[in-house]
Amino acid sequence: MSDLFSLEGHKALVTGANTGIGQAIAVALAAQGATVTCAGRRACDETVDMITRNGGSATTLLLDFADPMAARDSFAGAGYTLLVNNAGIIRREDSTDYSEADWDAVIDVNQKALFFTCQAFGRELIAQGKSGAIVNIASLLSFQGGIRVPAYTASKHAVAGITKILANEWAPHGITVNAIAPGYIATNNTDALRADPERAKAILDRIPAGRWGAAEDIGGTAAYLCSRAAKYVTGAVLNVDGGWMAR
């Protein structure tokens, strides 16, 4: 059972791997032995350096998911068996004033690009007759409505649905498809919330664990879902939120 969580022999593509949650996921997969391609709209040199300094194997790949088809040619013949879709954007505005441009930008990256990246990955694995794993990064707003983020909420509800339909279709091919719904994680994306004493207190008061999550909490969960230990887990949207949704 010692190799139950090992990712030796696997090659992973992690999107949005520049910083924060994506970076932590890439580092976690590499720590379990995966060869990791760190993809982002900017070079992921810091993440690659973190991995290689610890004896892991990683490269960087420029992919800008403002083009939802950006990854369509990334998988053919490349040997990937793991995919983590972490790249995402958010635009904030009252729903009465939300623009079509902001709506389209968020949906293109968070929903459309995620689906077509999964499609390209799944097509290649199925054609090669190989098993593999996909982990999509959902959100607490895959279940809740939120405030002033209508496109983000719609897109993250869609991530949960896409995860489930692909799990249904691809389970017979040995491809698991799961999602992680992070809670409030201490990254640069939540700097403003944590700097607001009232909002920060309100958030902490609801989290049973009594702390903000760390990016590494999501990294460890992603590594598990990519491993042999999770081979019978598919179609799940796993909350990693310190108990927020149970409150």
Would residue 6 count as lying in a domain? no
Beta bridge partners of 131: none
Domain that includes residue 79, residue range: 11-240
Token pair recorded at residue 31: 């720590």
Would residue 46 count as lying in a domain? yes
3-state secondary structure of 84: strand
The pTM of the whole model exceeds 0.85 = yes
Would residue 139 count as lying in a domain? yes
Q: What is the pLDDT along the chain (247 residues), one digit of tens a residue?
A: 469 999 999 999 999 999 999 999 999 999 999 999 999 999 999 999 999 999 999 999 999 999 999 999 999 999 999 999 999 999 999 999 999 999 999 999 999 999 999 999 999 999 999 999 999 999 999 999 999 999 999 999 999 999 999 999 999 999 999 999 999 999 987 888 899 999 899 999 999 999 999 999 999 999 999 999 999 999 999 999 999 999 9
Cβ-contact 96, 189 below 8 angstroms: no
Q: What DSSP designation does 235 have?
A: S
Give me the active site residues, please.
Answer: 152
Would residue 1 count as lying in a domain? no
Domain at 128, CATH number: 3.40.50.720
Distance in angstroms between the alpha carbons of the first and the last residue of the chain: 35
H-only helix segments in 45-142: 45-53, 100-107, 113-128
Would residue 112 count as lying in a domain? yes
Would residue 86 count as lying in a domain? yes
3-state secondary structure of 181: strand
Structural domains of the chain, count: 1
